[in-house]
Amino acid sequence: MEKQTFSIPNISCAHCIMSIKNELSELEGVNIVEGNADEKSITVEWKLPATLQKIKDTLKKINYPAA
């Protein structure tokens, strides 16, 4: 199991966090997605077949690229 916190400068509200959670939760292997709008960050916990690159690619695709 891997876990990482990402800085996401485009986060502005709780709706942003929900959008990110919904998208990342669809990736097979992603177990937990938690976010903090005030800190503009999300924490993701995953295992294979999800990968760090797949998570970053998904964030970029939905216009919330990791800094």
Report the CATH number at residue 45: 3.30.70.100
In a domain, 54, yes or no: yes
Residue-wise pLDDT tens digits, 2-59: 999 999 999 999 999 999 999 999 999 999 999 999 999 999 999 999 999 999 999 9
In a domain, 18, yes or no: yes
* Domain region containing 35: 2-61
Apex CA 31: angle with CA 27 and CA 35, to 5°?
Answer: 95
pLDDT (0 to 100) of residue 66:
96
Evaluate whether 58 touches 66 at the Cβ level (below 8 Å).
Answer: no
**Domain count for the chain:** 1
Alpha-carbon distance of 31 to 2, in angstroms, equals 10
Cis peptide preceding 9, ω within 30 of 0: no
In a domain, 67, yes or no: no
Q: How many helices (H) and strands (E) does the chain have?
A: 2, 3
In a domain, 14, yes or no: yes
- The angle, 0 to 180 degrees and rounded to 10, between the axes of the packed helices 14-25 and 52-61 is 130
